[in-house]
């Protein structure tokens, strides 16, 4: 059976049919659910109707009380305004009669209960008398100017309104024009006005009603925010941000809903608050839903008990028939999936390494074994550092940071070899979202990078060779003319004086032109290399010829030259050109190795390749020069031409091989020529 196919019960299991049992249990469960749902719905509907009627009654009473409170406050405000105007006119009268002495001024304001009094000009600046003396410290000039400006610009004799002080408190004030360019401003105490509003305003009514335990909150709210509310309310959603409240404002009729307030379910009744036909906001009353919810929960508990009985019976019967068969099917499916997944991972071309949340290796496929040179049983249960040492482990980094890596190129060193890897890591999490393990897929890019580097070098050498060929052709013709003229001067002309100096100069010209001609010839040979003369030759013999040519020079410099032939290797090569390659490498080693040093030549086979290593204990090559040593004309020697390694690289490449180099400064270098067998 395919594990992805749906489970199918057998048609018979003894004398009972599981399908029939499931059907009967389902019918009984359905009936129990329907009956329970009907009872719960009826109970909840009745309680909700009672709550809604109660909320509507409270809202209507609050609405009527609010209208009366607003009317009372408005009448008080009118009386205060009339009193302030009368006091201002009295001040103007006394001033005009020259009877406004400082004592009369203070006495009148104190008896009238005026908190602030002063005169201002048309620019809002205080002039003349002030009460109290430090009144200028209480108000910003721009606020005063904004208040009195209509009095002068619109040719009015009096105005009333609000003035804000430095602390942000608003004072109820009146202004009466004293002269065409000045006016008296009288203000009430903001604390007294606030206390008046508290005593006769709707806020007091809301606080008193809010003491009822069944009322969760009462809020009077307009589009700008909360106007008044019970003490437990600090914030409420804006009317325009709530579709239900916006609908109440639009239709201007009472409505209700069930909502939440401070993690508590409430029945909210909302009614538009209108005074004299003007919409001032909405009144929101929230009633506690806990009594209704308790009744519903009791009903639900009874229904759940009945339903639970049916379900228990059905589950017992159902499990009895299917547990054994399901266990068998699941075991078989799990085994198939595990085998299938394991085969995929084991046979992937890329290395796959998995670790658990502790960083211990749990999976190490065949490609990983080949890449790291270790078998899976040797590394499973160990950490990544047991494989790569102190080098940075991207798997451990992924576990620590929780950040996955995609196709990141890194360089690792294994068993003395450098590997360029492309690493992709993935985190696996458990059902709680915690990191359970991490998987890394590693692609070995070493060979690819090496081929790309060899191709780059070959293209560069070819281009530089073509350039050298063109330059050599252009130089050779005038050089030949110079050589012929020098030879004729040497043979056909004899100076009357300084003959010996003349002959030395002419001979120098002739010898230097020959030297330049030989350099040009090497350029041409590099640009137009001779066709390979491939023959099946013993590689050891070709190398032995090159070693023999430098033996004497090595002895003279006090350098030990060793040739480790290894096994016999025969392959198709051009003997002369390959001998030139090994000769160039040996001469470079001789020049770089001091007296007392050693040069070792080794020959061995590795897979289907023949490898020749030329190692020395010389001065080594600086890291910044390693990528340039095969470039044409690149040299660090005062008398070098920079063509030896370039020519060697071209010859090896034409044989289908490659030449590699590793070096450490002050320790030596190793050149490796790899040829296909």
For the stretch 109-123, pLDDT in tens is: 888 888 889 888 888
pLDDT at 241: 81
CA-to-CA distance for 454 and 468, rounded, in angstroms?
21
User: Which strands form 215-222's sheet, in the order they lie side by side?
Assistant: 225-229, 215-222, 278-288, 264-275, 255-261
Count CB neighbours of 420 within 10 A. Answer: 16
Mean pLDDT along residues 484-505: 77
SS3 assignment, position 162: strand
Mean pLDDT along residues 557-584: 89
pLDDT at 360: 84
pLDDT at 10: 43
Q: Which residue has the higher pLDDT, 176 or 453?
A: 176
The answer to whether residue 454 scores a pLDDT higher than 80 is no
DSSP string, 202-216: HHHHHHHHTTSTTEE
How far are the Cα atoms of 457, 580, 651 from residue 463, in angstroms, in the given order? 10, 22, 16
pLDDT at 563: 92
CA-to-CA distance for 452 and 658, rounded, in angstroms?
12
CA-to-CA distance for 611 and 672, rounded, in angstroms?
7
SS3 assignment, position 647: helix
Mean pLDDT along residues 319-334: 67
Largest pairwise CA distance in the chain: 143
Output the six-digit token pair for 526.
């590099």
Long-range contacts of residues 384-391, Cβ cutoff 8 Å, at least 24 apart: 384/353, 384/355, 384/359, 387/361, 388/412, 388/414
83 Rama class: left (phi>0) / alpha (psi -120 to 50) / beta? alpha
46-50, 140-144, 268-272: range with lowest mean pLDDT? 46-50
The answer to whether residue 381 scores a pLDDT higher than 70 is yes
pLDDT at 14: 42
- Classify residue 132 by its DSSP letter: S
So where are the chain's domains?
349-444, 450-527, 535-676
Evaluate whether 599 touches 559 at the Cβ level (below 8 Å).
yes
The CATH number of domain 450-527 is 1.10.287: yes
Cis check for the bond before 199: say yes or no (omega within 30 of 0).
no
pLDDT at 11: 44
Mean pLDDT is highest, among 115-129, 186-200, 460-474, for: 115-129
Evaluate whether 442 touches 354 at the Cβ level (below 8 Å).
no
Mean pLDDT is highest, among 214-218, 356-360, 419-423, 657-661, for: 657-661
The answer to whether residue 4 scores a pLDDT higher than 60 is no
Q: How confident is the model at residue 106 (pLDDT cuts 50, 70, 90)?
A: confident
Q: How confident is the model at residue 325 (pLDDT cuts 50, 70, 90)?
A: low
SS3 assignment, position 121: strand
pLDDT at 466: 64
CA-to-CA distance for 157 and 88, rounded, in angstroms?
12
pLDDT at 616: 94
What CATH class is the domain 349-444? alpha beta
The predicted model scores a pTM of: 0.37
pLDDT at 8: 44
For the stretch 32-48, pLDDT in tens is: 677 767 777 776 777 77
Mean pLDDT along residues 76-84: 87
485-489, 492-496, 519-523: range with lowest mean pLDDT? 519-523
CA-to-CA distance for 492 and 473, rounded, in angstroms?
29
Find, among 226, 183, 278, 229, the residue nearest to 62 by Cα: 229
pLDDT at 473: 64
Q: How confident is the model at residue 175 (pLDDT cuts 50, 70, 90)?
A: very high
The single residue listed with the structure tokens 């890449």 is: 371
CA-to-CA distance for 321 and 461, rounded, in angstroms?
79
pLDDT at 416: 61
Element (H, E) at 399: helix 394-401
Q: How confident is the model at residue 2 (pLDDT cuts 50, 70, 90)?
A: very low
For the stretch 581-618, pLDDT in tens is: 999 899 989 988 999 999 999 999 888 889 999 999 99
Mean pLDDT along residues 443-455: 72
Give the total residue count for the chain: 677
The answer to whether residue 51 scores a pLDDT higher than 50 is yes
Check if 450-527 and 535-676 are the same fold: no
Classify domain 535-676 at the CATH topology level.
Heat Shock Protein 90 (3.30.565)
pLDDT at 461: 57
Q: How confident is the model at residue 317 (pLDDT cuts 50, 70, 90)?
A: low
In the predicted model, what is the mean pLDDT of the chain? 79
Mean pLDDT along residues 274-303: 77
The answer to whether residue 197 scores a pLDDT higher than 50 is yes
For the stretch 269-282, pLDDT in tens is: 888 877 777 777 88
> What angle do helix axes 446-492 and 644-654 make, rounded to 10 degrees?
120
Which of 493-505 are b and which e, b meaning 16 or more Cβ less than 10 Å from the residue's Cβ?
eeeeeeeeeeeee
CA-to-CA distance for 382 and 366, rounded, in angstroms?
17
7-21, 247-261, 403-417, 457-471: range with lowest mean pLDDT? 7-21
DSSP string, 52-119: HHHHHHHHHHHHHHHHHHHHHHHHHHHHHHHHHHHHHHHHHHHHHTT---HHHHHHHHHHHT-SEEEE
The answer to whether residue 9 scores a pLDDT higher than 70 is no
């Amino acid at each position: 059976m395919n594990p992805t196919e749906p489970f199918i019960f057998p048609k018979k299991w003894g004398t009972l049919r599981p399908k029939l049992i499931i059907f009967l249990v389902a019918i009984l469960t359905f009936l129990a659910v329907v009956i329970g749902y009907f009872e719960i719905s009826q109970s909840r509907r009745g309680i909700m109707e009672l709550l809604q009627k109660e909320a509507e009654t409270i809202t209507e009473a609050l609405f009527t009380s609010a209208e009366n409170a607003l009317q009372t406050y408005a009448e008080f405000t009118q009386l205060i305004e009339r009193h302030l105007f009368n006091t201002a006119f009295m001040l103007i009268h006394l001033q005009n009669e020259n009877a406004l002495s400082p004592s009369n001024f203070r006495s009148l304001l104190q008896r009238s209960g005026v908190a602030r009094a002063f005169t201002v000009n048309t620019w809002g600046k205080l002039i003349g008398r002030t009460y109290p003396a430090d009144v200028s410290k209480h108000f910003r000039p721009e606020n005063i100017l904004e208040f009195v400006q209509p009095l002068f610009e619109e040719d009015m004799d009096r105005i009333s309104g609000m003035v804000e002080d430095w602390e942000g408190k608003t004072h109820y004030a009146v202004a009466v024009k004293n002269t065409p360019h000045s006016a008296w401003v009288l203000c009430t105490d903001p604390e007294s006005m606030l206390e008046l509003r508290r005593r006769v305003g709707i806020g007091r009514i809301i606080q008193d009603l809010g003491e009822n335990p069944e009322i969760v909150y009462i809020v009077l709210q307009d589009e700008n925010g909360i106007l008044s509310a019970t003490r437990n309310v600090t914030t409420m959603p804006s009317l325009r941000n709530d579709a239900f409240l916006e609908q109440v404002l639009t239709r201007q009729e009472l409505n209700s809903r069930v909502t939440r307030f401070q993690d508590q379910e409430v029945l909210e009744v909302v009614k538009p608050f209108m005074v004299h036909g003007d919409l001032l906001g909405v009144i929101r009353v929230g009633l506690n839903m806990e009594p209704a919810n308790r009744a519903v929960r009791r009903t639900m508990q009874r229904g759940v008990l009945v339903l639970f009985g049916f379900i228990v019976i059905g589950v017992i019967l159902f499990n009895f028939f299917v547990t054994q068969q399901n266990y068998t099917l699941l075991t078989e499916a799990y085994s198939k999936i595990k085998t299938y997944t394991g085969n995929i991972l084991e046979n992937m071309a890329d290395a796959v390494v998995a670790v658990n949340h502790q960083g211990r290796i749990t999976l190490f496929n065949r490609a990983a074994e080949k890449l790291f040179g270790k078998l899976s049983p040797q590394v499973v249960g160990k950490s990544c550092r047991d494989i790569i040492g102190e080098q940075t482990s991207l798997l451990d980094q992924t576990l620590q940071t929780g950040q996955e890596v995609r196709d990141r190129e890194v360089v690792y060193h294994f068993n003395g070899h450098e590997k360029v890897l492309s690493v992709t890591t993935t985190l696996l999490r458990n059902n709680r979202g915690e990191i359970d393990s991490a998987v890394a897929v590693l692609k070995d890019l070493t060979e690819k990078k090496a081929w790309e580097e060899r191709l780059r070098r070959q293209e560069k050498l070819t281009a530089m060779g073509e350039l050298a060929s063109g330059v050599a052709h252009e130089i050779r013709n005038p050089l030949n003319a110079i050589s012929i003229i020098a030879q004729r001067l040497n043979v056909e002309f004899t100076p009357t004086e300084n003959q010996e100096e003349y002959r030395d100069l002419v001979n120098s010209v002739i010898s230097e032109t020959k030297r330049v001609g030989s350099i040009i010839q090497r350029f041409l040979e590099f640009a137009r290399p001779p066709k390979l003369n491939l023959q099946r030759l013993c590689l050891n013999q070709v190398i032995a010829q090159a070693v023999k040519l430098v033996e004497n020079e090595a002895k003279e410099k006090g350098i030990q030259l060793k040739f480790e032939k290894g096994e016999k290797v025969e392959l198709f090569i051009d003997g002369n050109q390959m001998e030139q390659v090994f000769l160039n490498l040996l001469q470079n080693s001789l020049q770089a190795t001091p007296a007392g040093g050693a040069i070792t030549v080794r020959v061995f086979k590795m897979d289907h390749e023949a490898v020749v290593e030329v190692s020395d204990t010389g001065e080594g090559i600086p890291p910044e020069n390693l990528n340039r040593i095969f470039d044409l004309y690149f040299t660090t020697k005062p008398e070098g031409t920079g063509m030896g390694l370039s020519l060697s690289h071209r010859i090896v490449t034409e044989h289908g091989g490659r030449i590699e180099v590793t070096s450490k400064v002050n320790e030596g270098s190793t050149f490796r020529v790899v040829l296909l067998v």
